[in-house]
Amino acid sequence: MGEPLRIGMVGAGKISGAYLDTMEQLDNVTLTAVTDLDPGRAGAAAARVPGAEAVGSVAELVARPDVDAVLNLTIPAVHAEVARAALAAGKHVYGEKPLAATREEADAMLAGAGADGPRIGCAPDTVLGTAVQTARKAVDDGLIGRPVAATAFMTTAGHERWHPDPEFYYRPGGGPLLDMGPYYLSALVHLLGPVVKVTGVASRPRAEREIGSGPRAGERFAVDVDTHVTGVLEHAGGALTTLVMSFDIQAVRLPRIEVYGTEGSLSLPDPNGFDGPVDLHPAGGEWETLPVSAGYAGAGRGVGLRDLADAIASDRPHRTSADLARHVLDVMLTLLDAAREGCSLPVASSCERPEPVGR
């Protein structure tokens, strides 16, 4: 094994702790630098890793010779800006989802990398865990026959109940689809392939929200995006997915993702996690939990960095690719366009299904 991939982290907010937990367990990546708008948060994150340093700006971080790749954990509105700075400095990029706020920003990012330049990876990496990968193997092995349909539901009353600074979830680039949709859509592409057409409707039942926790509890703020989105996705192989993404539902008894085939059905756990039971109901049989058969075991946020580092070292494609993230972004934005226009629209982009993760 060669030297670890040296990581500079931009953004030391809430999600950074999960990444740091994972990186502490990996031997092919190491944290060397951290920057954040709050110097105290940057210092606290850097202090977790011997030898890591807090730095004052993105420009300083991407210029460091001990940074090979930039972990971009900023808010969605500046994902593209930070990524472009890193790419311009010749650094690989792995970012939180979505890839960017607009197609134009995403395309500029990909152009900045070029065909043979630095690599771009993008969350979610939950699809590399044992749940989605075990389900994918079941689909690929024909356990449910030919896939004909799927359902995907993400429903909550809203992130303002628990997040102390939730406004960005309700600004352009946020909303339930762009926030949580990447987990579900990335899983669906792994399971059923890319999406070729969408039909959508959306609504915004409340003009304001109230912060429910933290020092700002009780403050109200405006909602600038649709907070309930329903769509039908047509996959390249012909399967149809019914999708519901909502910040307006108090309680449900819905599954997270199910896939229905000519010879059976699969039920998956929350794709916001890495593992959990995958249940199969063969035609004429009963529900049974499948044994784990694929995926990174015991994975957490940041396993995508492990996959990226391995891919660079072995000169293979990484699984959390920019092409997949660009397609997922395009599907989401096209679905919102279809909702505004009250019609069905083709999805202009496509992508290859990433290579599966074996055991």
Residues present in the chain in total: 359
**Phi and psi for 172 in degrees, rounded to 5?**
-50, 135
pLDDT per residue over 317-337, tens digit each?
999 999 999 999 999 999 999
State the architecture of 5-122 in CATH terms: 3-Layer(aba) Sandwich (3.40)
Q: Where are the domains of the chain?
A: 5-122, 126-293+326-346
Tokens read off for 266: 């699969």
For the CA atoms of 108, 112, 114, 119, the dihedral, rounded to the nearest 10 degrees, stands at: -110
Task: Count CB neighbours of 220 within 10 A.
Answer: 10
**Annotated catalytic, 97?**
yes
User: Which CATH superfamily includes the segment(s) 126-293+326-346?
Assistant: Dihydrodipicolinate Reductase; domain 2 (3.30.360.10)
Query: In order along the chain (359 residues), what is the average pLDDT of each group of 10 residues?
Result: 90 95 96 97 97 97 98 92 97 95 94 91 98 98 98 97 93 90 97 98 97 96 97 97 98 95 98 98 97 97 97 96 97 97 97 92
User: Do 193 and 235 form a contact (C-beta atoms < 8 A)?
Assistant: yes
From 194, 122, 179, 180, select the one nearest 347 (Cα to Cα). Answer: 194
User: Do 272 and 183 form a contact (C-beta atoms < 8 A)?
Assistant: yes
Q: Active site residue: 14, 91, 97, 197, which one? A: 97
**Which amino acid, 50?**
P
Task: Count CB neighbours of 140 within 10 A.
Answer: 12
Output the pLDDT for position 351.
97
User: Do 66 and 93 form a contact (C-beta atoms < 8 A)?
Assistant: no
Instruction: Provide the β-strand partners of residue 278.
Output: none
Output the pLDDT for position 250.
96
User: Do 328 and 194 form a contact (C-beta atoms < 8 A)?
Assistant: no
Distance CA 246, CA 284 (A): 34
Output the pLDDT for position 1.
55
**Which amino acid, 305?**
L
Tokens read off for 285: 């049989």
pLDDT per residue over 100-143, tens digit each?
989 999 999 999 998 888 999 999 999 999 999 999 999 999 99
User: Do 337 and 229 form a contact (C-beta atoms < 8 A)?
Assistant: no
Strand pairing category for 69-72 and 92-95: parallel
Q: At what angle do helices 175-192 and 130-140 cross, to 10 degrees?
A: 40
